Chain A
Amino acid sequence: MSSAVSRYFTSSIGRKQLIALTGLGLCGFLVAHLLGNFTLFIGSDAFNIYAHKLMSLGPLVYIAEAGLAAMFALHLGLAIKMTIENKTARGQKYYMKTRTGRGETLMSATMPYTGLILFVFLILHILQFKFGPVYNTEVDGVFMRDLYRTVVEYFQSPLNTAWYVIAMAAAAMHTAHGFQSAFQTFGFNHGTWTPKLKILGIAYAVFVAGGFAAVSIFLHVKGA
């Protein structure tokens, strides 16, 4: 690696920007994922056709999955390293530390924890759905996986639904800080636009996390 590249990847600002970049990438993925999930509101066929079409893209799927996995790994790895460094840099703990109320928020303070919840959630999520029970179905003469049934069965358990909603709450908190924070990290800070961006970040968090949670509650209430 050239010195400029290694310098960037090992510097505080460089790594932060990589965390921000991958974070925004993941934010984009969440929107796409949510739009797809909205087909669950329509019904089993709509969802299954959507899932089937997505999976029929062939190598593109693998590329996209690999890309997502890389983004996630980078985001997580750098964030863990940064969190450890930051704890070390703090040094001896204060006996008493109170927030001014004008800076640190619950969202910003809990980024490592909400991130950890999301990490656990993601593993379970993949295991429960992608690698979960496989059923088959036929829509308009085409055989395909009945992913709808897998999903609906999962959400019949109140515990599962509750966990899913809790995880979405964590996602909301994580992205509410993370989304707007990423722009600051890239160096975008403007007297007029930054406050609006912060509102957009919260709107994003509410929309995405709320959307996912709404789908899960909808399926839970609707029943199999």
Chain B
Amino acid sequence: MTSSKLDSKVPSGDLYAKWDKHKFESKLVNPANKRKFTVIVVGTGLAGGSAAATLAELGYNVHAFCIQDTPRRAHSIAAQGGINAAKNYQNDGDSIKRLFYDTIKGGDYRAREANVYRLAQVSNNIIDQMVAQGVPFAREYGGYLDNRSFGGSQVSRTFYARGQTGQQLLLGAYSGMMKMVNKGKIKMFTRREMMDLVVVNNQARGIIVRNHVTGELERHVADAVLLCTGGYGNVFFLSTNAMASNVTAAWRSHKRGAYMANPCFTQIHPTCIPVHGDYQSKLTLMSESLRNDGRVWVPKKQGETRKPEDIPDEDRDYYLERVYPSFGNLAPRDVSSRQAKYRCDEGLGVGSTKKAVYLDFRDAIKRDGAGTIAGKYGNLFEMYERIVGEDPYKTPMMIYPAVHYTMGGLWVDYNLQSTIPGLHVLGEANFSDHGANRLGASALMQGLADGYFVIPYTLGNYLASNKIDKITTDHDAFKEAETRVRMADNKLLGLKGKRSVDDFHKALGHIMWEEVGMARKEAGLKKAITGIRKLKEEFWQDVNVPGGENEYNFELHKAGRVADFLELGELMALDALERNESCGGHFREEYQTPDGEAARDDEKYCHVAAWEWSGEKAAPIRHVEELKFENVQLATRSYK
């Protein structure tokens, strides 16, 4: 049974007509009245940037906040591969329905049909919009847009701008924001970090932010709050996320009443540069497109000492080709990642840490020539050489999976509104569109769909149909929230313990990676919960945060984030423990088919698990939104 608070508000009627119907039925805000509303947008990535620019164009006053020194640095910028759209420019059988279907299937049937269909519908508008903003997508000599097939898709629907698609799209959204800053409709607050959400009369009405430069806590009031704060992959310490990516805005909103949905759904990307030491601060993704020509292998015997290029074929195990003869090296992300882990668990890993597998271009170079391969992957090869110091033209690359994306996030309804009225959540920060596994080139699509084409309608409806009282930042709720933040700060600063914030973060990351990573099992998850609880206790006794509150104190910034990651990590383990099935990025070793594939349990788990915070001491409450599939058949994914 779906819990009462989890009303998805999906419009009735035919799937194909739901969004149009909803747009028509949504109430509008009169043009002259829009300027009376203020909207807070936290985060300026693809979702936040596009939402801020579009809402400002419509006439709302937008107050936008970003953690970096300028909105152009949000981590959307690092997406390499591309963005999907159902344009069918290649005439290869693509359609809105097929993109919808692929996304549902790719998500292993754990996403909401209506949301995903809408996503596929607006995907085409996104490409038009971004081209109009001057995004230099790849083109043919004749001037038409080029597409490529991505992540094992059977149609070429991915638009790309070299290996920098995320950057180009983000700069497009950013330029739209700058245009509206110039017009005075967006007020930009940089180097600010959201510390708490302010709820008044059960409506999200403002935020408390820390000004990183001065250390001051600031109060900001508005008529609605949009969280566009990205994912929480950094709970693993090492991930492909940026250093400042964090869960604090979402987590503190969760503590104020927003439900956290499917937190255990994390995506582990198979082609990253392996960890090389304890000092490592982050992992770098190598585009998945490399698997189009590279062959993945490990040596057949343990303790192999020969150089990889000296190992003959008969001593190599091309395990993806062996296990998945039809998809081979192009098997989906979760499948490829898990297979790499198995090989390393078997002691066949390579490199100094033995936690890597080879991705070999020898045969591709022999077949197509080094020039052709350089034309396709030259930039990536250069990047690899810069980081690792080895030449992939001569010796195989080493790769290993890394945490890349989090499908889970704050629960939202069809309007992208959380369980707190007025608090809307966009992009990776919400849970809605990718189910248990995200397809390649779909994250950019979702962020921009939410910001450009969904929230402008649904936010208008919220503002027009709710009574929002006039309040100022002197309201008691602001005082309370600010005090709460200040008390936590003072506690952290006063501990003067022996361990650094990073020590704790790394310890948490280790537990998460070992027990809540690519393959999970009951005993391990229970161990993780106990371990994280203990770590959390130690953190609040022994962390050392030097410096004071009213200064640029990034150890204090990090400490607040790690405190939240410790709580989130526990919830992720609990969520994984409660979901007794394997689906997409969530693989429980107890639930697999005889040949080692994920075994879903559609009887019991065809639902969204949304967690309600119930205090520091009490256990969180698991709510359920049942998922109904009326337009696609539930089927088992097979990549054999």
Q: Do chains A and B touch in the complex (CB under 8 A)?
A: no
Chain A residues in contact with chain B, CB under 8 A? none
Chain B residues in contact with chain A, CB under 8 A? none
